[in-house]
Amino acid sequence: MITLYAFGPAFGLPDPSPFVTKAEVLLKMAGLGYTVDTATGFKKAPKGKLPYLEDDGEIVGDSTFIRWHLEKKYGIDFDRGLDDEQRAVAWAFERMLEDHLYWAVVHARWMDDLNFDKGPRTFFQRVPAPMRQVVVAMVRRQIRRALHGQGMGRHSREEIVALGTRSIDAGADFLSDKPFMMGSEPAGVDATAFAFTAGALCPLFETPLRSAVERHSNLKRYAGRMAERFYPEHTEIAHWAA
Ligand SMILES: N[C@@H](CCC(=O)N[C@@H](CS)C(=O)NCC(=O)O)C(=O)O
C-alpha cells in the first residue's frame, strides 16, 4: 500500500508543489496504485518537506529518493530506452529545474505581494485568526532566508527573472518538436518538466516566468500533452496550454 503525502490541489494545479506533482506523475507512470494523504502534512515529514511517501511502512522523503525507491522496489526504469548520454542530460535538466528554476518560482510566488496574497497566503486560512498574521510573517521570513541562503534571493527581481527565463528557454529549446523531453515517450525527467511547466503557466500568478513559458508554443503544447496523459480529469491545465 503506497501513500503519497501531499499538500493537495490548489491554484488550479494538482498540487502547488512541483515536487509533489513530480512524485505523483512518477507513480502514475509506474502504474502503481496509491492514495494521497493531504491531511498529515509536515507533521511526520522525515525531512520537514513534502512530498514523502509511505510504502508498506517504509518512509521515503524527497521526490528523487521516491523515484529511486520505486525503481528499486518495483524494478522500474523511468529512463528505459535512453543511453548513458541521454540519462546524463535528463538528470542535468531535472537539476536545473528543481535546484535553479524552483527558486525563481518561489521568489515570484512568495516575495511578490500580489502573488503572495492570491496564492501562498491562502495556505494559512486554517490558522486561528488572532495568530494568522504572525504565522504568515514568520513563514514568509523563513522563505526569504531560504532564498538568501540558496543565493537566488540575493539578486534583484530583474536578475532572477533573467535567470529563470534562461532555464525556461533552455528547456523549450531542448524539447524542440519532440513530444516529450527525451523523445517519443515520457521519461523520468518529464515528471519534473511537466510539474514546472504547469506551475509556471498557472494564470493566478502574474509573473514574467509565465510569459516566458507562453512565448514557447511547444512548451504549452507539451504541458497539454502531459496533462492529457497523466491528469485527464484536470481540464484547467489543458485550458492554460491551449
Ligand atoms: N528536494 C525536495 C524538495 C521538496 C520541497 O522543497 N518541498 C517544499 C514545497 S515545494 C516544502 O515542502 N517546503 C516546506 C518547507 O520548506 O518548510 C524534493 O525533491 O522532494
Average pLDDT score over residue span 206-228: 97
Using a 6 Å cutoff on CB, does residue 50 contact ligand 1?
A: yes
Short-list 58, 52, 81, 12, CA closest to 231:
12
Using a 6 Å cutoff on CB, does residue 188 contact ligand 1?
A: no
d(CA 151, CA 100): 10
CB atoms closer than 10 angstroms to residue 94: 22
Q: Please write the tens of the pLDDT for every residue from 143-174.
A: 999 999 999 999 999 999 999 999 999 999 99
Q: Is the pTM of this model over 0.85?
A: yes
d(CA 222, CA 225): 5
Q: Are 194 and 21 in contact (CB under 8 A)?
A: yes
Q: What's the pLDDT score for residue 42? A: 86
Using a 6 Å cutoff on CB, does residue 17 contact ligand 1?
A: yes
d(CA 209, CA 124): 25
d(CA 13, CA 44): 24
Strands 35-37 and 52-55: unpaired
Q: Please write the tens of the pLDDT for every residue from 36-73.
A: 999 988 889 999 999 999 999 999 999 999 999 999 99
Q: What's the pLDDT score for residue 41? A: 82
Of the pLDDT bands very low, low, confident and very high (cuts 50, 70, 90), residue 76 is: very high
Taking the centre of ligand 1 as the mean of its atom positions, its distance from the CA of residue 98, in whole angstroms, is 10
Testing ligand 1's pocket by substitution, the residue of 5, 19, 67, 144 carrying the most ligand atoms inside 8 A of its CB is 19
Q: What's the pLDDT score for residue 89? A: 98
Mean pLDDT of the chain: 97
Short-list 71, 72, 77, 61, CA closest to 4:
61
